[in-house]
């Protein structure tokens, strides 16, 4: 099983939205970045755990955990002219964009702030810290997951 981090703007769709969904499950769509798309299409698998990260807001950081319940399949918003995510160059025969379904697992009592994450000496390779933090879907190494989960949940391992 692999671990991931998905970024989201909590004003649009955050951990609370996910928790309040029917079945606490929601398609993770609207990803329009090729590197992130490749992860969704090729690598994210059912049963993988995902950190839900809140960006572009007052309290930036990891807010909770979700689990992948459906692996990559075409993101239907790319075919919908009324959608913000419409892509006229995408066809059903060869979809460009993919999404996965995620289910709520856990909300942390407190956001694990980006500042705290960056302060960890062994968290230096994560995409959050590199590349100016712009990638919206990124893998998290097992060791990094352990460290971050311990910090966020306050639980020992």
Residue ranges that bind DNA, judged by CB under 7 A: 7, 9, 32-35, 55-57, 60, 114-115, 130-136
Q: Are 44 and 98 in contact (CB under 8 A)?
A: no
Nearest distance in Å: CB 57, DNA? 7
Nearer to DNA, 3 or 7 (CB): 7
Nearer to DNA, 70 or 96 (CB): 96
Q: Are 28 and 17 in contact (CB under 8 A)?
A: no
Nearer to DNA, 34 or 86 (CB): 34
Determine the Cα–Cα distance for residues 125 and 105; give it in Å rounded to an integer: 26
Cα-based distances in Å from 87 to 96, 148, 157: 8, 36, 44
Nearest distance in Å: CB 35, DNA? 6
Nearer to DNA, 24 or 133 (CB): 133
Cα dihedral 148, 149, 154, 157 in deg (nearest 10): -110
Nearest distance in Å: CB 156, DNA? 27
Q: Are 18 and 104 in contact (CB under 8 A)?
A: yes
Nearest distance in Å: CB 34, DNA? 4
Nearest distance in Å: CB 23, DNA? 26
Place of tokens 């909770």: 64
Q: Are 107 and 19 in contact (CB under 8 A)?
A: yes
Nearer to DNA, 115 or 157 (CB): 115
């Amino acid at each position: 099983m692999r671990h991931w981090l998905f970024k989201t703007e909590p004003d649009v769709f955050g951990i609370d939205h996910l928790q309040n969904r029917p079945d606490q499950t929601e398609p993770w769509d609207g990803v329009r970045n090729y590197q992130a798309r490749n992860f969704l299409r090729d690598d994210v698998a059912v049963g993988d755990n995902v950190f839900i990260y809140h960006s572009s807001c007052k309290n930036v950081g990891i807010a909770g955990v979700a689990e992948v319940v459906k692996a990559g399949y075409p993101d239907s918003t790319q075919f919908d002219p009324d959608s913000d995510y419409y892509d006229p160059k995408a066809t059903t025969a060869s979809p460009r964009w993919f999404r996965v379904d995620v289910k709520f697992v856990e909300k942390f009592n407190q956001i694990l702030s980006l500042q705290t994450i960056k302060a960890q000496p062994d968290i230096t390779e994560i995409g959050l810290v590199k590349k100016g933090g712009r990638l919206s879907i990124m893998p998290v190494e097992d060791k990094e997951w352990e460290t971050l989960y311990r910090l966020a949940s306050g639980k020992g391992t």
